[in-house]
A = this chain, B = another copy of it.
Amino acid sequence: MRPVSVVGVGLTQWGKRNDVSLGELIVESAKHAFEDTKRLAPKDIEALYVANAQSERFTEQAHPANLAAEFLGISPKVTARVEMACASGGAAFRNAFFTIASGQAESALVSGVEKMCNVPSSEAMRNLCLVEDLTWESFHGMIPPSGFALIASRYMHEYGVTQEQLAKIAVKNHKNGSKNPIAQFRKEITIETVLESPMIAHPLNLYDCSPISDGSAAVILVPTKEARKYNDTPVDVIGSGQFMEPSFNCSNMQSLTTWRALVNAANNAYSMAKLTPKDMDLAETHDCFTIAELIEYEDLGLCKKGEGPQLVDSGDTEIGGRIPVNPSGGLKSKGHPVGATGVAQIAEVTEQLRGEGGPRQVDGAITGITQNLSGFATHHVVHILRRQN
């Protein structure tokens, strides 16, 4: 295995994108990623990974990897569309990382894309429900909001967290997202905004939940030894971890409040990077619901189990705090075009480590971590990135 670096990242505007087709959305982020590199053109790409959850349902277009090859004009000799529901982006990036690390290809493009606003929001919600077990859970109403509400209720019971503390996570992420030009919601909110918003599934209100979005993100990877040819500030991928619980159902999880798959994925990534949580300067995590970000603090090791609420109150996860989480605005404010989310996390951390975060820059950031989940938090992908000296 050889070292791997990120040499180009690109994002589209996220939100409602009725102005473009699925293929055009793929091109838009890839174009930015190629512009972010030097001397690398689409024709040079040897591996293509497309992260997409449900183009066949949202846009009536299956086989998005071949669509991407056509729209980008590339001929990959290694290629796959990776579908891992909300963690498609992290999983596709991990595949591309190992493709370069193992010498299968000299360059890889990861394109994450989802176009969800193409269908009425009721249909979009229905599509999202299909990522849970049809027979035993989704059919009976155990769908993402109710599942994460159950997790939140259990956390309240075991460790105690208030709705105000959960709301603070949404407030922080909206504040960060207000400084992100591509974010779907660029407006600050207050704790009252969250608490007074419609109840979705107790204890989660509308503003505890991430939205339905269109958007795309692209990342270009090469071997580290070639990286400076393509970018003056390469960012190295120094850790990668993944884990899936032998459960798909919420009811089979060993614990609702300690996500074993996340603990294992994070440990694998820290171990590969030979670093600990204390070495992280920022994190982009999967805040599909505010309770998710809270548990992620703990299971990523950013604080001890049960101390997430105090970490929220301390302000240490704000930009300027000890360990800023979701400086991009997270899924909550930036948006959650499912297949693009995990790829965009890599893009945000890369820009932060290069010092290109603009008004949301985490000062002096050298090392960052990303975490992307799917199912009822039964599958996680974690990556650790570091700026080259």
Bound Cα distance A78, B101 (Å): 15
Scoring A67, A244, A252 by chain B CB atoms within 10 A of each residue's CB, the highest score goes to A244
**Which residues 79-132 in A have Cβ within 8 Å of B in the complex?**
79-85, 91-92, 95, 98-99, 101-104, 127, 130-132
* Chain B contacts for A131, CB-based, 8 A: 62-63
- The 26 sampled A-B contact pairs (Cβ below 8 Å) are A53-B62, A54-B56, A57-B57, A57-B62, A61-B134, A62-B130, A63-B83, A63-B84, A65-B379, A66-B84, A66-B244, A66-B248, A66-B378, A69-B244, A69-B245, A70-B247, A73-B246, A74-B246, A77-B241, A77-B244, A79-B84, A79-B91, A80-B83, A80-B95, A82-B82, A101-B102
Residues of A near any B CB (own CB < 8 A) = 1, 21, 23, 48, 53-54, 56-57, 59-63, 65-67, 69-70, 72-85, 91-92, 95, 98-99, 101-104, 127, 130-135, 241-249, 252, 261, 264, 268, 374-375, 378-379
Known: A1-B102, A63-B375. A244 touches B82 (CB 8 A): no
User: Would you call A66 and B375 a contact (CB within 8 A)?
Assistant: yes
Closest CB pairs A-B (n = 10): A102-B102, A70-B248, A62-B130, A63-B85, A63-B131, A66-B248, A81-B83, A62-B131, A61-B134, A66-B375
For residue A132, which residues in chain B have a CB less than 8 angstroms away from its CB? 63
Which residues of B lie under 8 Å from residue A82 when comparing CB positions? Answer: 80-83
Query: How distant is the Cα of A76 from the Cα of B379 in the complex, in angstroms?
Result: 10
CA A73 to CA B30, docked complex, whole Å: 38
